[in-house]
Amino acid sequence: FHDYCSNAALQLPAVVASVGYRLAPEHRLPAAYDDCEEALRWLASPAAAGDEPWLRDHADYENCFLMGTSAGGNIAYLVALRTAVQVNKGRELRIRGVMLHHAFFGGVERTGSEERLAVNATLALETADLCWELSLPHGADRDHQYCNPMAGGGGSELLEDVRAAGWKVAVVDCEGDPLVDRCKETARMMEEKGIEVVAHFESGGFHGWEVMDAEKGKEFNGGVLKKFVQSCLDA
């Protein structure tokens, strides 16, 4: 993952800050969301630039993005919901867009892609289920809001805050990922909420494709990701 982030930093170019958040099962959700939200608050504080020369000398606080792959895509989505109201208010930093890359979503009722790709070499469905069993709050099922963006029938009311903030959201996945239908329905749901969504779904591939395949990652960073970032900056 470090190599992928390094390549993204080179190709965009950008300063990439990867958050070391607490992990399940020792620390169940919302611990990871809390940690990443706290990282955003720290980044917006005067202490961040003072403590980190790379941020002080190179980061453009007016043009920031939230991005995550797999579990990170889930975290980026939930952190965007939780912070859309306040993160741009003080203008210490300005979020311009959100990238959900192979976002790790789930639900009790199986989707077509989950049934079709239940057994695969990269992310077997029983493995995904176990991840949720170990990370969701005790007693919660996969229709909890942390897992299923469609929970409650129509998505979180906090999506209105994302729309009001003017954030563009990219949803990226591939047809070889058992979670691709979750990402597609999340993209449709956000569009229905009035959010500007850029959806990119490739044929083939597998969960985490661009991270695990270095050449594919370079192609993605220099193409889809760079184009999305530029479109947000041009808006």
Q: Return the CA Rg of the chain.
A: 17
Q: In the annotation, is 70 catalytic?
A: yes
Classify the phi-psi angles of 133: left when phi > 0, otherwise alpha if psi is within -120 to 50, otherwise beta: alpha
Q: Which residues pair with 169 in a beta bridge?
A: 98, 197
The answer to whether 200 touches 171, Cβ cutoff 8 Å, is yes
Enter the DSSP assignment of 199.
Answer: E
Catalytic residue among 161, 173, 177, 181: 177
Is 114 within 8 Å of 179 (Cβ atoms)? yes
Taking residue 70's Cβ as centre, other Cβ atoms within 10 Å add up to 19
Identify the three-state secondary structure at position 32.
helix
d(CA 226, CA 12): 6
Find how far residue 96's CA is from the centre of its chain: 14
- Within 108-179, where are the H helices? 112-116, 125-135, 159-165
Q: Which of 70, 113, 135, 156 is catalytic?
A: 70
| Distance, CA of 202 to CA of 180 (rounded, Å) | 10
- Residues across the chain: 235
d(CA 107, CA 132): 10
Catalytic residues: 70, 177, 207
